[in-house]
Amino acid sequence: MQVSEITPGELAKYAREDETDTEVLSTFTLILSAVKAYIKGYTGLSDEQLDTKEDVSIAVFVLANEMYENRIFTVKDNNVNKVVQSILDMHSINLL
């Protein structure tokens, strides 16, 4: 699955939420946008380049689920999921 093919409904289903609930879909629409921006900033890849890396879609699902489950104002930890970090590090061209 390509990153551009991922929908808010699929993210809701992955999180075991009602993918027909408009409030849930609205939340996942925002989360999907934030996750894509985070991944592009982390890796330095464009949307087109992300679509060539099928394993990045796993990172999208995991990050979106974590963002949904941890909807809090303050940051408790500064930790990134190790699986997500490994996937993104493999494709990172942003070496600063």
% pLDDT > 70, the chain: 91
Output the pLDDT for position 46. 94
Residue 52 has pLDDT above 60, yes or no: yes
Q: Tell me which of 44-48, 71-75, 86-90 is least confident.
A: 71-75
Model pTM score = 0.81
Query: How high does pLDDT run on average in the chain?
Result: 88
SS3 40: helix
Check: CB of residue 18 under 8 Å from CB of residue 61: no
SS3 15: coil
Residue 16 has pLDDT above 90, yes or no: yes
Ordered by start, the domain boundaries in the chain are: 3-91
Output the pLDDT for position 78. 66
